[in-house]
Structure 1
Amino acid sequence: MLGLPRGEVFLVSWTKEWKEAFLNEKKLIEKLIGEYMIDIQHIGSTAVPHLKAKPIIDIAIVLERFEDGLKCIAPLEKLGYKYRENVLPERYYFNKGEPRTHQIHMYEKGNKYLMEQLKFRNHLINNDAARIEYEQLKIQLSQANPSNKHQYAEEKTDFIRSILNIING
C-alpha cells in the first residue's frame, strides 16, 4: 500500500514494494534532474526493513549547490511533484499525489539535516532493538494523533535526538 490521505496519520506494515517504488521513482528523477544531483537516497521509515511506517516514500536528493534546486522545480512538476516553499528548514521540499505517495527533501551536500536522516536510518537498519523501540513509539503516537501529523512528528523528536546522541557520542 502506498498513499496517505491529507490530514490522516496511520501506519502500515513494511513491504519490499517500498524499495521497488523508490527505485522506480529514482530512475524517473535521475532522467530529469540527474545533472544537478550528486546522490539520491531512500530515507524515512519506508527505507527501514520491517519498520511500520506511514505509506509515503521519502527521497533525499543531494545537490552540489543549493541554488541548483530552483532549476529542478519545473522538471519535478512534470512528474507530478508540487514544490512547497518554506515547509522544512534548509531544503527544497516537494510532495506528490493525493493521497500523498512521495516526498522529496532536496539538500546541499553536507547539510546537517541530511546527515542526521542518513545516520538515523542506518542505525535503525543495523539495530533491531532501536528499530523495535521506535516502531512501538510510532504506533503509540499514530494512535494518539490520528489526524495531527505535526504533533505525531514532534513527539518522535526526543527519541530521534537520543539515538543521534548515541551515534555521535
Structure 2
Amino acid sequence: MLGLPKGEVFLIPWTVEWEKEFLLEKERIEEVIGNKILSVHHIGSTSIKDLSSKPIIDIAIVIQSFQDGTDCVVPLEKLSYAYKGPDLLPDRHYFNKGEPRTHQIHMYQSDNRYLLEQLAFRDYLRINDEARVQYENLKQELSLVNSKNKHKYANDKTEFVRYILDKIKLQSN
C-alpha cells in the first residue's frame, strides 16, 4: 500500500515494494531533471528495512545550487508533483505527489545540514536494530495519539531524532 490521505497519520509494516517504488520514481525523476541532479536518495522511514512507516516515499534530491530547484518545478509538475515552494520546510524545495499523498521530494543544495542529518539518521537506523526498534515503538505510540495531527506526530519524534544525531556526532569524534 502506498498513500496517506490528507490530515491522517497511520503506519504500516515495511515492505520491499517501497524500495522498488523508490527506484522507479528515481528513474522517472532522472529522466526529466537528470541534468540538474548530483544525487538522489531514498530517505525517511520507508528507506529503513523492517521499520513501520507512513506509506509515503520520501526522496532527497541533491542539486549544485539552490537556484537550480526553481528550474525543476515545471518538469516535476509533468510527473504530477505539486511544488510547495522553498519556504515550507527549512532550506529546501519541497514537492509532493498524489491525494492520497504517495511521494515527497526534498530538494537540497549539496552539503545542506538537513540533508546530511537525514542521511546520517537513516544510515544509523539501518545498522542499529535496537535504535530502529525504539524508534518504531515511539512512532507506533505517537501515530495512535496523533492520528489526525501530522505536525504534532512529527514534532514529537524530534527529541529521539536529536538523541540519535548527538550519539552519531559523539561516535565520530
TM range (shorter): over 0.9
Structure 1: tracts of 5 or more residues without a match: none
Local SS of the residue matching 1:25: helix
Q: Distance in 2 between matches of 1:6 and 1:136?
A: 23
Q: Distance in 2 between matches of 1:87 and 1:78?
A: 21
Where does 1:1-169 land on structure 2 (aligned, <5 Å)? 1-85=1-85, 86-169=87-170
Deviation at 1:38, TM superposition (A): 0.3
Q: Which amino acid aligns with 2:137?
A: Q
Local SS of the residue matching 1:7: coil
Q: What's the Cα RMSD here?
A: 0.3
Q: Distance in 2 between matches of 1:119 and 1:58?
A: 15
Runs of 4+ in 1 over 6 A off after TM superposition: none
* 1:67-90 CA-partner distances (Å, limit 9, x unpaired): 000000000000000000221010
Q: Which amino acid aligns with 2:163?
A: S
Local SS of the residue matching 1:82: strand
* 1:63-120 CA-partner distances (Å, limit 9, x unpaired): 0111000000000000000000221010000000000000000000000000000000
* 1:123-159 CA-partner distances (Å, limit 9, x unpaired): 0000000000000000000000000000000000000
Task: Output the TM-score relative to the length of structure 1.
Answer: 1.00
Local SS of the residue matching 2:82: strand
Local SS of the residue matching 2:11: coil
Identity of aligned residues (%): 58
Q: Distance in 2 between matches of 1:40 and 1:131?
A: 23
